[in-house]
Structure 1
Amino acid sequence: MLFFQRTCKFSTETGSPVVMLNSLPMGKKMTIAEGVLICKICTCVYPSNCSCNQDLDMRFGFDLCSEEKDFLWKRKRHVANALKNVFHLVLSSCVQQVPVVAIITTGGGLKSMTGLYGGLLGLKKLNLLDCITYISGLSGTTWTMANLYRDAYWSQKDLDWHICEAQKQATKCKMGCFSVDRMKYYNKQLCQRKEEGYRTSFIDLWGLIIEYLLNDGKDPHKLSEQREALCEGQNPLPIYVSVCVRNNYSTHDFKEWVEFTPYEVGLLKYGAFIRTENFGSEFFMGRMLKKLPESRICYLQGMWSSIFSVNLLQIWGLSHNEDPILPTRPHELRTRTYTPPGPLSNALRGALTDRFSVAQHHNFLKGYQLHNNYLENEHFCRWKDTVLDTRPNKLMQNPDHLGMIDAGFFINTSSAPLLRPQREVDVIIYLIFWFLRVACKYYSEQKIPFPKASLSDEDKNLKECYVFQDSDSPRCPIVIFLPLVNDTFREYKAPGVKRCCSEMEGGQLDLTSRCSPYCMFSVRYSDENYRRLLNLSEYNVLNNSQIIMQALHIAMQRKRQNMC
């Protein structure tokens, strides 16, 4: 666990530290006598009587929460039975020998939403969906996940109903989201949210628009309600990913991973977690000061998939595949003396890094400062990748609000939570992933175990499936990479079944051109385009079933060997 210390003020009269004690009435202060020992975590006057985490409304530590551990115990039994049926094997009853398989996705609006449905359908037909322990998503794939997890037993059923419902929403006319009645609804909902204590922004409006794009009416669903879909270990555990940013910093300079599960919301770097239903409430020094009603999931989807949090720097990077050099800031200089940047330099940096809108939520770490030996913590260093990490007084300045954006504006992957060593992921299935080179470079820089990929983003003739592994590193997961490419699908409508002349058009998909119907900003598909994309995603999984099966078999062998 990281060492945190609660912030305290110093008396102007005595110079002694003055802290707010939990046992005193609100507003009263107490001067701590010189020489009195204070707990570094909770500033308790008598450390021997300190209960630290026990009386807080948040959890500090890098271990998994008790609910997730309980889920894993139940899920591994489901996975063990599925593996026995698929491979016709007699596995040991020891759940420790069951490999942990995770699906990682990328963003891209309706394209990624539809592609994930197709990938899951393919795994379902191969009887492999019950072998999955985790599904992580960002941006458009969170739309798929949120819709599925309304049904507490979705993975145990036929997926056709969910897919048809998604098709109805993807193909409907979207002009109604700008009607007068709808505008009145937006205004009413935003006013209510503000009265509840939330700081509203354009991202909240975007969340309400997403609600309309994906539903026929108001969606009352909340993230914590998805626990019902996990109570028996009957479905994979969903993890939604965002990144925390700061004003006047690019995502290259400052970003911190945030994970959302039905159980907890947490900042990975600090090992700080709160209950999901308490996200957005006001905290100070680990205690909840004001409980706010839990947000409906549409507001979270607005944050997870916000196209309005982009800045000029990211637009440049997307179009040129590189970041422009920013004017130097004092914190970037290694020397002790520097010349402060001038007004023009500040204005240029601001123009490049300012975002149109960022989701703002109360900072649940408010009142805490990192202890000065935080750099010694192995878990912290795993996610230490911002320009402020060498200056702890700058890193944790306790802003009132955390600014969160779509993780797609960084490396467009939902992988970070699943690469936590505590989750012990053995196999990763990458669905509809493009930016492999950037992600691998990031993993290498962070010294995160991940196999080297022998291809880059510039490869023109991508295959439908790749497997990457590092046999010399037992902690390194096996990666099954399934890029969204239209290769043999042009000539085959199903594995081994060639298209006849009249069916050839169904295999023609324009996935990359500027005129593609599947561009990131498209909010409406035709029925034909929706089905083609769905079928392509499903086909690529089915057509490479042997490669996927072989990778899972290797994972099981490795698991047994490590247990010996």
Structure 2
Amino acid sequence: MSASKLQESGDVRIAHSLHTKEEEFVVKRREIVFQSLQKHEIHCSQNKVPHIALLSSGGGQRATVGLLECLVQLDKAGLLDCILYLSGVSGSTWCMASLYQEPDWSTKLETVKDNIIKRLSGPGVSWGDAFAKLKKYYNGKDFFSLTDIWAAIVVTTYMKEIDEHTLTDKWSQLGKDPFPIYTATDKQSKQEEGGDPWFEISPHEAGYSLSGAFVETSNFGSQFDNGSKKKHQAEIDMLYLQAMCSSALADGEATWKWIKAISVPEIKSVFDKMEQDQSGGNASRTTQEPVGEDECYQELLNPVDAETLTLEQSSRTKLTDLFGGQKQFGQTADKHKKTARCIAQRIWGRNYNFLHNMTDESVPAALLQKETRDLIDAGLLINSPYFSVLRKERNIDLIIALDYSDGDPFTTVREAAKTCKKLKIPFPEVNIPSDEGKKPKDFYVFEGQNAPTVIHIPLFNVVNCGGKPGDWRKKYGILKGPYSAEMITEVMGVAGKNISNNREKLLEQIRAVAEAK
């Protein structure tokens, strides 16, 4: 069966070529890139237009607003139309989801930005609406996991909306915006040898970036057997997609304890409000016993018996109460036990494995065996979506990597280089002076033969932070939030300088790759 017919059939596609609709989009977008280059007197033939990818790391809400302002500044610099692909991890996908709600957002970015900031600075989603959405997930899916809870409670708290659009219904191949790629990590592949942990979701396909195994995005989440769809499930919505891409707690008890230490007040307030909802909104701290920090977390950290998959009766009762009780949901006790089990075992992002029961030697055997796969925050592996754009068939010449990570601001590019060397994927050498780890500059260029040029831009640096980037990283830790209007403005101001201060350097590198091509 030809690639195009296979795509139309809804069956699994095993191939390294791009989806035909992505190929069609690239042709149209290259024309926009070509016209933009001409304005900057960067001359090249139309069939030699450089492919430029903008990558944005995870980093909570600072990644969300930082990416937004960097795009605004790229637009003001006349460089946004040079970008072919936009790919994000974790908090950056929150920004992307907001942008792509608006068709052709790149042609009216100031207005789109103002609308997003107004929402982020305004009132949040009501708890009634959040729990109503949680019930929809609970009743409407074959697999209910902590990602559904994360979507309805955490993502809505930060993004202040319930986005029920799907990726495919908000996209047109005639769009004038960069091609979006959302990224996640296959948890099982991350933990075991022999898999492919890099998972991408675009408007047309979802699947494993390096293995070349994909399914139509509209069918992602449906049940497949031996490459053919067996049972259809509705396409995941953008709220769930954002949660899946940003599930920072999904990888082990150590992460939970780390979150507990950093963000107890925020998480504690969630549990307090849950209690108020349970009592009809009349609960008060004077009439009810306060919920202690340890109690809030204990229900999620309680050990589970690996053989019987049982919880203590008190935990089981509390977790059942969390979802409104058996009568409210009209579900059986088995389903409540299933919910308690997913919490006790920390099941995140569970979906049907569209590769289940296939036999194909080009796909790692580990991906073919289980009926389900768990998809989690890609930032738990490498906190930047390098492997979505390093697919050979995307022919990327220049990567502009915006880094909003906590800790060492060079971890993402170092880990990408290390992994590429192991997998024999072309990538430049990454050498950074040892004294710049805590005090990075605002612009780094890494070049190599037969490899894409990589520009690395740390958010907080000695140029835009008055020589004290560490103070800024502490003040705006990735788990701080939701941000006030003042905090949003401050982070955006810093992020924007990384583009406006380096406009000529960016142009220089774009010109260099255009001439080399």
Which TM-score applies when normalising by structure 1? 0.69
Offset from partner CA, 1:43-96 (integer Å, 9 cap, x none): xxxxxxxx999966221211101101100111110000000012x24543xx22
Q: Would the alpha carbon gap of residues 396 and 537 (structure 1) be closer, same or farther in structure 2, given more than 3 Å must change?
A: closer
Report the counterpart of residue 424 of structure 2 in structure 1: 447
User: Is the aligned partner of 1:365 residue 2:365?
Assistant: no
Deviation at 1:165, TM superposition (A): 3.0
Residues 308 and 357 of structure 1 are in contact (CA less than 8 Å); yes or no, is this contact kept in structure 2? no
Amino acid corresponding to residue 185 of structure 2 in structure 1: V
Query: Matches of 1:401 and 1:218 in 2, distance apart?
Result: 26
Deviation at 1:243, TM superposition (A): 0.9
Correspondence for 2:393 among 422, 425, 428? 422
User: Is the aligned partner of 1:270 residue 2:211?
Assistant: yes
Report the counterpart of residue 260 of structure 1 in structure 2: 201
Report the counterpart of residue 135 of structure 2 in structure 1: 188
Deviation at 1:303, TM superposition (A): 0.6
Q: Would the alpha carbon gap of residues 426 and 90 (structure 1) be closer, same or farther in structure 2, given more than 3 Å must change?
A: closer
Correspondence for 1:281 among 222, 247, 260? 222
Query: Matches of 1:203 and 1:519 in 2, distance apart?
Result: 22
Query: Matches of 2:10 and 2:395 in 1, distance apart?
Result: 28
Report the counterpart of residue 240 of structure 1 in structure 2: 182
Residues 206 and 220 of structure 2 are in contact (CA less than 8 Å); yes or no, is this contact kept in structure 1? yes
User: Is the aligned partner of 1:466 residue 2:444?
Assistant: yes
Q: Would the alpha carbon gap of residues 284 and 240 (structure 1) be closer, same or farther in structure 2, given more than 3 Å must change?
A: same
Query: Matches of 1:526 and 1:209 in 2, distance apart?
Result: 18
Residues 349 and 376 of structure 2 are in contact (CA less than 8 Å); yes or no, is this contact kept in structure 1? yes
Residues 126 and 545 of structure 1 are in contact (CA less than 8 Å); yes or no, is this contact kept in structure 2? yes
Report the counterpart of residue 498 of structure 2 in structure 1: 540
Aligned residues: 426
Q: Which structure features the higher share of helix residues?
A: 2
Deviation at 1:426, TM superposition (A): 0.3
Report the counterpart of residue 37 of structure 2 in structure 1: 83
Report the counterpart of residue 327 of structure 2 in structure 1: none
Amino acid corresponding to residue 29 of structure 2 in structure 1: R
SS at match of 1:246: helix
Query: Matches of 2:433 and 2:466 in 1, distance apart?
Result: 26
Report the counterpart of residue 487 of structure 1 in structure 2: 462
Q: Would the alpha carbon gap of residues 439 and 316 (structure 1) be closer, same or farther in structure 2, given more than 3 Å must change?
A: farther
Deviation at 1:477, TM superposition (A): 0.5
Report the counterpart of residue 25 of structure 2 in structure 1: 71
Deviation at 1:420, TM superposition (A): 0.6
Amino acid corresponding to residue 144 of structure 1 in structure 2: C
Deviation at 1:146, TM superposition (A): 0.7
Amino acid corresponding to residue 118 of structure 1 in structure 2: E
Offset from partner CA, 1:488-544 (integer Å, 9 cap, x none): 33569xxxxxxxxxxxxxx9993222xx2x212122222222111101111111111
Query: Matches of 1:101 and 1:84 in 2, distance apart?
Result: 15
Offset from partner CA, 1:463-486 (integer Å, 9 cap, x none): 11011111xx23x01111111124
Residues 138 and 241 of structure 1 are in contact (CA less than 8 Å); yes or no, is this contact kept in structure 2? yes
Report the counterpart of residue 213 of structure 1 in structure 2: 157
Which TM-score applies when normalising by structure 2? 0.75
Query: Where has structure 1 moved over 4 Å in runs of 4 or more?
Result: 51-56, 214-217, 251-255, 313-318
Query: Matches of 1:85 and 1:186 in 2, distance apart?
Result: 47
Amino acid corresponding to residue 406 of structure 1 in structure 2: D
Segments of 5+ residues of structure 1 without an aligned counterpart are 1-40, 42-50, 319-345, 348-353, 375-379, 381-388, 493-506, 560-564
Offset from partner CA, 1:196-237 (integer Å, 9 cap, x none): xx3011211211235523555542211112322x424x1100
Amino acid corresponding to residue 304 of structure 1 in structure 2: C
Q: Would the alpha carbon gap of residues 490 and 61 (structure 1) be closer, same or farther in structure 2, given more than 3 Å must change?
A: closer
Deviation at 1:113, TM superposition (A): 0.5
User: Is the aligned partner of 1:120 residue 2:71?
Assistant: yes
Amino acid corresponding to residue 437 of structure 1 in structure 2: R
Amino acid corresponding to residue 205 of structure 1 in structure 2: I
Larger Rg: 1
Amino acid corresponding to residue 163 of structure 1 in structure 2: K
Residues 106 and 137 of structure 1 are in contact (CA less than 8 Å); yes or no, is this contact kept in structure 2? yes
Higher relative contact order (CA 8 A, sep 6+): 2
SS at match of 1:147: helix
Q: Would the alpha carbon gap of residues 289 and 397 (structure 1) be closer, same or farther in structure 2, given more than 3 Å must change?
A: closer
Task: State the identity as a percent.
Answer: 29
Correspondence for 1:154 among 91, 99, 105? 105
Residues 310 and 355 of structure 1 are in contact (CA less than 8 Å); yes or no, is this contact kept in structure 2? no
SS at match of 2:440: coil
Amino acid corresponding to residue 292 of structure 1 in structure 2: Q
Query: Matches of 1:315 and 1:190 in 2, distance apart?
Result: 23
SS at match of 2:169: helix
Amino acid corresponding to residue 238 of structure 1 in structure 2: P
Report the counterpart of residue 96 of structure 1 in structure 2: 47
Query: Matches of 1:80 and 1:543 in 2, distance apart?
Result: 24
Query: Matches of 2:250 and 2:195 in 1, distance apart?
Result: 14
Aligned pairs for 1:1-400 within 5 A = 57-86=11-40, 88-92=41-45, 95-157=46-108, 159-172=109-122, 179=127, 181-182=128-129, 184-194=131-141, 198-210=142-154, 212-213=156-157, 217-228=161-172, 230-232=173-175, 234-246=176-188, 250=191, 256-312=197-253, 356-371=346-361, 374=362, 392=365, 395-400=366-371
